[in-house]
Amino acid sequence: MEPSRNRLKHAAFFVGLFIVLFLIIMTHQTPPYAFARNQTISTESPPYFTQLTIPKPNDALSVHASSLISLPNDNLLNAYFSGTKEGARDVKISANLFDGKTNRWSEAFTILTKEDLSHHSHEYIKKLGNPLLFLHDDKILLFVVGVSMGGWATSKIYQFESALEPIRFKFARKLSLSPFLNLSHLIKNKPLNTTDGGFMLPLYHELATQYPLLLKFDQQNNPRELLRPNALNHQLQPSLTPFKDCAIMAFRNHSFKDSLMLETCKTPTAWQKPMLTNLKNLNDALNLINLNEELYLIHNPSDLSLRRKELWLSKLENSNSFKTLKILDKANEVSYPSYSLNSHFIDIVYTYNRSHIKHIRFNMAYLKSLLK
C-alpha cells in the first residue's frame, strides 16, 4: 500500500506542476494580435505650415487638456475641458469641429457636463477632468475622468460613444480597473489600434506610486485585459505609438530628477527594459509620434527656467537621443499637446496660457525642410 500511495503523491505533484507551468506559459504566449501601423503621410505637396486659435465657449475663463481626432471626411474634432479653472465645479467638456475645406473651426459646443455624467453613471460627480477622443471604426469614443470626492487621485474613467453624425455621446460604461476601490485612474494620450480589430488604451494610476497601465479593448469597444508594462514608479500619461515590429512608449515624469524614458516592446504584452534618453521631463505632458517610420516628440524643454514656456518638436536620432527641430510656440504656458494624422497633414493642438486652445497644421514637406 505504501509504494502505491507514494506513486499517487508523485503523480499528483507532477500533475500540479504541469498545470502551473502550463498557466505560466499561457500567460507569456504571444498574443493573437499586434499593434497596427500608422498611415503613411504624403510627401508630394509643397511645404505647408499654419497656426490657428480655436474658439472657446463664451463663458469659459479657462480651457485645457485638449484631445484631437481626424474624422473620415478630413474634418477634425477637438475636445477639452472649459470653465472657471481646472477642477472647478462649473467645468464641462466642450468641443469644436474643423472644416477641412474652409480651414476654419466651428464655434464651441458642449458634449458633456458633470450633471450628464452623474445621471448616466448613477454616481455623484463633483468635477470633470481630462477628455480623450478616439475614432474606432464607425464610432467616436470619448473617455473622460470624473471625480466624486477629493482630488484627481480619487478619479475614475468613464466611456461614451457617438455616431459620426450627429455627434451625440451616449454612456457606455465606467471602466472597472481594480477589484478594490477602482480609484485613481486617469487618461491623457490616444489609444493604438490592434490587428484583431480592437485597440490598446494607455492610462495611468496616480495614487501613491504613480505608474503606467495598458487596457486592451476588443472590436466591440469592450475592455478585456489590463496589464502593467513595467515596474516604474512616478511615470504618468504614457504616450504610445507604433515602432518597428511593435510599439514604443514615453512617459511624463512625476519627479523633476528623472530623465525622459522610452520603452519598446516585443509584443503588445511583452515590454523591454525602459531606456534613459538625453532629455529630462519636468512633469510635463508630451506626445511621441511615428511619422513615416521616423519617431518625433512634441514636448516642453528640459530647462526649468523655460518650463512650459516653449513647445518643441524633436526627432529621435538614435535609440535614446533626441534632436530639437523647431520651437512650435512660446508663451507663459504652452502645454498639454495632442495630435492627429491624416494622409496629408500632421495636426497638433495644445493649451495656450490656459485661456485658449491653439492648433498647428503642417505637412511632411515642411517637416523635411526642418531636417536640412
DSSP letter at 164? S
CB 161 within 8 A of CB 144: no
- Tell me: the pLDDT tens digits for 275-290? 999 999 999 999 999 9
Spatial CB neighbours of 12, under 8 Å, sequence gap ≥ 6 = none
pLDDT (0 to 100) of residue 19: 46
CB 78 within 8 A of CB 357: yes
Q: Distance (Å, rounded) from C-alpha 44 to C-alpha 277?
A: 33
Rounded-to-integer distance, Cα 45 and Cα 346, Å: 13
H/E stretch holding 130 reads strand 127-136
pLDDT < 70 stretches in the chain: 1-30, 256
Burial letters for 233-257: b for 16+ Cβ neighbours within 10 Å, e otherwise?
eebbbbbbbbbeebbbbbbbbbeee
Give tens-digit pLDDT for 116-143. Answer: 999 999 999 999 999 999 999 999 999 9
- Give which of 350, 239, 328 is closest to 290, Cα–Cα: 239
The reported pLDDT for the residue numbered 20 is 45
pLDDT at 17 (0 to 100): 53
Q: What pLDDT is recorded for position 109?
A: 98
What is the structure's pLDDT at 24? Answer: 46
Bridge partners of 160, per DSSP, are 142, 171
User: For residue 335, which phi and psi values (nearest 5 degrees)?
Assistant: -155, 175
Domain range annotation of the chain: 42-371
Whole-number pLDDT of residue 13? 55
CA 322 centroid distance within chain: 21
Q: 42-371 domain in CATH 3.10.20.30?
A: no
The whole-number pLDDT of residue 150 equals 80
| Predicted TM-score of the model (pTM) | 0.91
Residue 23: the pLDDT is 42
Task: Kindly list the distances between the CA atom of residue 58 and the CA atoms of 62, 84, 130, 167, in Å, as whole numbers in the listed order.
Answer: 11, 11, 20, 21
172-203, pLDDT tens digit by residue? 999 999 877 788 899 999 999 999 999 999 99
**Any idea what the Cα angle at residue 296 is, between residues 80 and 40, rounded to 5°?**
90
Length of the chain: 372
From CA 296, how far away is CA 287, in angstroms rounded? 8
